[in-house]
Amino acid sequence: MQKKVQKILSDADIRINGSRPWDVKVNNPKFYSRVLSQGSLGLGESYTDGWWDCKALDQFFDRLLRAKIDKSVKITKDLFWLWLKSQLINMQSKKRAYEVGKKHYDIGNELYEQMLGKTMMYSCAYWKNAKTLDEAQEAKLELICKKLELKPGMKVLDIGCGWGGFAKFAAKEYKVRVVGITISKEQLKLAQENCAGLDVEIRMQDYRSLNEKFDRIVSVGMFEHVGTKNYKKYMKAVSKCLNEDGLFLLHTIGTNKSSRSGTEPWINKYIFPNGHLPSVKQIAAAAEKYFILEDWHNFGKDYDLTLMAWHKNFIRNWDKIKENYDERFKRMWEYYLLCCAGAFRSGNNRLWQIVFSKNRNQQYSSIR
């Protein structure tokens, strides 16, 4: 089995027990059979269990994905079950909407405070003219506000508002009124604290229960939780809430090919339950009936830089939060951040900012 795994990895120039940063050091010989039988789920779980190590997981995954090794590994029962569930069940139904909040966003605000920086933005930063994470996140917020053409007095909806980073910035810098909705109790509490004294209202609410009008709508890093069965419902809900002369900005991770099976098994089980990365085709098809496409901006390589900055913060500040977690969690979180960095570096994942209008007569000016 070792020879079989080595043969697969050799296509990506990865060696077992090699000396390069992206090579794999095997600590438990059961690693080989586990990976061959369980695919990506076994790869992630065996790392969390300490069965193997790698000095640079980001480089490991970059090489693995560029070589398309994931395509050569057989379909496992876990991947098949994810596909089957996605066909038979709406994994992102209104009833299930709060699961990811409990599983991922409610595991401790202190963790995210130490990892994300002062903006508390848990989405791709914009590094075009930035040197630090905080600068890049503020540049992203400024970019969004300019793309939305915000003006004082406008009423803005933030779907999936996180810890209130955008709401705070837009209300303070552009003098707009912001309503932010989240499905996380911990986010709700901290977002309300962060936006205190500003014209901001933060609610615990699912997007499907909205029934009011807004001049602008923004969704940053939330569409990944919507799911293919709900894409058209989502676009319909946004359209219903957007004024006729309004603008809607969608900031989302995307993938190169359309799929209905959701995220890969390890990410689904341990990080983002019931998640799904949309394709260009899926977004366009869902939006076509409700919106006019004004602008499509791709800066996926910036997410590689963002994830590496988060990882750096996580490791540097681990001693401040380690009483709340264990070493297994540390390995799991490092694996999550670095495998995602590798996915963006390889071009396997994308990051898009898309601007839609409903009925605009004047021409929209693209901003970069």
The catalytic residues are: 340
Place of tokens 């994942």: 349
User: Which residue type does 103 have?
Assistant: K
- Of the candidates 338, 196, 190, 322, the one whose C-alpha atom is nearest the C-alpha of residue 267 is 338
Query: For the packed helices 301-316 and 133-147, what is the interaxial angle rounded to 10 degrees?
Result: 140
Strands (DSSP E) along the chain, which ranges?
Answer: 25-26, 52-53, 155-159, 177-182, 200-204, 214-220, 242-255, 292-298, 349-357
Q: Are 161 and 191 in contact (CB under 8 A)?
A: yes
Diameter over CA atoms, the chain: 65
- Of the candidates 98, 334, 126, the one whose C-alpha atom is nearest the C-alpha of residue 204 is 98
Angstrom distance (rounded) from CA 239 to CA 133: 33
Q: Are 278 and 231 in contact (CB under 8 A)?
A: yes
Angstrom distance (rounded) from CA 63 to CA 49: 23
Q: Are 89 and 140 in contact (CB under 8 A)?
A: no
- Token pair, residue 302, equals 């910036």
Phi/psi zone of residue 366: left (φ > 0), alpha (ψ -120 to 50 degrees), beta? beta
Q: For residues 300-312, b (16+ Cβ closer than 10 Å) or e, as one string? A: bebbbbbbbbbbe
**Torsion of the alpha carbons at 189, 190, 191 and 192, rounded to the nearest 10:** 60
Instruction: Determine the 3-state secondary structure of 292 from DSSP.
Output: strand
- Token pair, residue 103, equals 């599983």
